[in-house]
Chains A and B, each alone.
Chain A
Amino acid sequence: MRLLLMALIIAMAAGLAYAILSLPAESAGLSVYTTENIAISGVTNPVTAVLLNYRAYDTFLELGVLLLALLGVWSLGSTATASQRPSAPGPVLDNLARVLVPILIVVAGYLFWAGAYIPGGAFQAGAVLGAAGVLLILAGWRINHRLVGLPLRISLVLGLVVFAVVGTLFMLTDRQFLEFPPQYAGVLILLIEGLATLSIGIALAALFLGADPEEDDN
């Protein structure tokens, strides 16, 4: 068994090495097309242009995958372990959370805003928001019970829904799904990224919480 595994790993490593060695040494890839069309993409950071404009479909589906993962966790949900805290957080953790969470929110806002022209963007900003959520959960904070039902669910799907609505809206004016008119592309990307940041952050924190907080309440 171990030998078979070893042989498989060696074969895979050899295949990967062959693939890398057989790559053309100097290749521009698709970067030429990316920089040629950057002016009509609405942003100046090529990575954001690819993620939110040229290949918006991939990002759209990624948001869906994240929600599906959360659904999977919620359907497994043993709520007992998620809500029970063995002890109250110590003063260090409590104070650290109170200091760090506002900073993390500002950092997330910066990353989201900076994504238009330098590295950053919705997923990075969302991950930082999610980390803030994890810190809050660890420090013993819970979502207000009035917000765990519909409001939580709406904020979870908001990014995906607005993405889909914006994507289909311009099909009325003879465009493809997720094809943005160049003059509005910047604003639309900002809108989608902002809401996606929020949804991603909440989804990641909810993943850490582990179970549907609405059921936890009952």
Chain B
Amino acid sequence: MEALTQLQLAFDVVLVLTLLGLAWQALTSPELFRAIVLFIAFGLLMALVWVRLAAPDVALAEAAIGAGLTGALLLTTLSKLAKQTDKSSRENNKDIIAPSAASTDE
């Protein structure tokens, strides 16, 4: 029994540290795609935390909405953002980009 409590404590500590680490990396990551994937991982671990706090209802909602749907929404937003910036940068720098793209092909 004693060993089991120790094991649970160790698991909780590792869980909290990983969660904090993921949160920090997601916030500071300069690459948006990476940040979103980290955020999804954060949501899944958060669901585990809710299970450990004996709140399986919240865990279910967190896993489905927090990690799954929010992740999907963020990823579509990212792809739309990328499309828009692509278009605007092409319109603005038409003359600059075309030759350099041609030169990299050679």
Is residue A194 within 8 Å, beta carbon to beta carbon, of the partner chain?
no
Partner of A120, one of B57, B65, B68, B76: B57
Secondary structure at chain B's binding surface: helix, strand, loop or mixed? helix
Place the interface of chain B in its size category.
10 to 19
Q: Cβ of B56 and Cβ of A119 under 8 Å apart? A: yes
Partner of B60, one of A120, A134, A207: A120
Chain B, residue nearest A46 (CB):
B57
Q: Cβ of A134 and Cβ of B72 under 8 Å apart? A: yes
Chain A: interface residue total (CB-CB under 8 A): 17
Q: Cβ of B57 and Cβ of A121 under 8 Å apart? A: yes
Q: Using Cβ atoms and an 8 Å threshold, which residues of chain B touch A130?
A: 64, 69
Chain B stretch 50-88: residues in CB contact (< 8 A) with chain A: 56-57, 59-61, 64-65, 68-69, 72-73, 76, 80, 83
Which A residues contact B (CB, under 8 angstroms)? 47, 81, 111, 119-121, 123-124, 127-128, 130-131, 134, 204, 207-208, 210
Measured CA separation A171–B65 after assembly (Å): 34
Chain B, residue nearest A115 (CB):
B57
Q: Using Cβ atoms and an 8 Å threshold, which residues of chain A touch B57?
A: 47, 119-121, 124
Q: Cβ of B56 and Cβ of A134 under 8 Å apart? A: no
Q: Which 10 A-B pairs have the closest CB atoms?
A: A127-B64, A119-B56, A124-B60, A119-B57, A47-B57, A127-B65, A81-B80, A134-B72, A131-B68, A124-B61
Q: Cβ of B60 and Cβ of A119 under 8 Å apart? A: yes
Q: Cβ of B61 and Cβ of A123 under 8 Å apart? A: yes
Minimum distance in angstroms from B80 CB to a CB of chain A: 5
Task: Given A119-B57, A120-B57, A124-B57, decide whether A204 and B76 contact each other with a Cβ distance below 8 A.
Answer: no
Partner of A128, one of B64, B76, B80, B83: B64
Measured CA separation A121–B76 after assembly (Å): 27
Measured CA separation A127–B58 after assembly (Å): 12
Chain B 80-98 against A: per-residue CB contact (8 Å), 1 yes, 0 no? Answer: 1001000000000000000
Measured CA separation A130–B83 after assembly (Å): 25
Q: Using Cβ atoms and an 8 Å threshold, which residues of chain B touch A208?
A: 69, 72-73, 76
Partner of A210, one of B61, B68, B76: B76
Q: Cβ of A134 and Cβ of B61 under 8 Å apart? A: no
Which of B68, B69, B83 lies at the interface centre, i.e. has the most chain A CB atoms within 10 A of its CB? B69
Q: Using Cβ atoms and an 8 Å threshold, which residues of chain B touch A207?
A: 69, 73
Chain A, residue nearest B83 (CB):
A81
Q: Using Cβ atoms and an 8 Å threshold, which residues of chain A touch B76?
A: 208, 210
6 contacts between A and B (CB under 8 A): A81-B80, A127-B65, A127-B68, A131-B64, A204-B65, A208-B69
Task: Given A81-B80, A119-B56, decide whether A124 and B64 contact each other with a Cβ distance below 8 A.
Answer: yes
Q: Using Cβ atoms and an 8 Å threshold, which residues of chain B touch A120?
A: 57, 60
Partner of A134, one of B59, B69, B83: B69
Chain A, residue nearest B51 (CB):
A119
Chain A, residue nearest B73 (CB):
A208
